[in-house]
Structure formats: structure tokens, C-alpha cells
Amino acid sequence: QKEVEQDPGPLSVPEGAIVSLNCTYSNSAFQYFMWYRQYSRKGPELLMYTYSSGNKEDGRFTAQVDKSSKYISLFIRDSQPSDSATYLCAMSYASGNQFYFGTGTSLTVIP
């Protein structure tokens, strides 16, 4: 079983839709949860970074962590064509700095 599971998609939505991206994990020792956006042939860029269970909002993006279910989500409101990219979830332990990545979900927002 992989440490982090993420549906690779692809996911295609119309402009303006709400997008929900999800990851599950098996190791309850993960304490930090990140979402990265990666455009084609580019390096990942950090979107959201959370520590505790609950919601964290930043503009059109909301990150949600449910440690009891070992489940994290990223919601994108009012999706735009410029949001078309691959979204990667990543997790790490409280100590050490190794990241464990999901496989990424490919998102296309259609104008």
C-alpha cells in the first residue's frame, strides 16, 4: 500500500465550477500537509500548507484536513482556465523533512 493515495484523474470541469481534490494516507504519524500546483514541464509551487485538522482558506483555495479519517482535500472555488495544472498533495512527519507525495491529479478547466 502506498503511503499517500491520490486519484490521478484526469478531471475536467467548466469554468466557474467548484473543484474538489482529495488524498488519503495510511500513516497517522503524518503531521504536515501540503498542496502543490505543477504546470506542465515546470517545478511544483506551494499552494497551501496546513498542520492541524480543520479548514484553511486562502483566496479561492481551501485546504481541509481530517486526521481521524486520514483524508485531506483541496477545494478550488470559481475555477479558472489558469487553474489547469496537476495538483499534488504532500505530507511529512513532525520530525525530519522528507515529503511523501501523491501521484497528482490532472485538472483541466474549460472556458
Partner 1 sequence: GAVVSQHPSRVICKSGTSVKIECRSLDFQATTMFWYRQFPKQSLMLMATSNEGSKATYEQGVEKDKFLINHASLTLSTLTVTSAHPEDSSFYICSATSVGGSYNEQFFGPGTRLTVL
- For residue 54, what are the CA distances in angstroms to 16, 31, 57, 58? 25, 13, 10, 14
Q: Could you say which of 43, 48, 69, 82 contacts partner 1 (CB under 8 A)?
A: 43
**Interface with partner 1 includes 34 (CB under 8 A)?**
yes
CA distances from 52 to 14, 55, 77, 107 (A): 32, 9, 22, 26
What burial class does residue 65 get, using C-beta atoms within 10 Å of its C-beta: 0-12 exposed, 13-18 middle, 19+ buried?
buried
Output the smallest distance, CB 78 to partner 1, in A: 26
Q: Identify which of residues 61 and 101 has a Cβ nearer to partner 1 in the complex.
A: 101
Binding mask 46-85 for partner 1 (x = CB under 8 A): x--x------------------------------------
Q: Which three cell numbers stand for residue 12?
A: 475536467
Residues that bind partner 1 (CB under 8 A): 6, 8, 32, 34, 36, 41-46, 49, 88, 92, 96-99, 101-104, 106
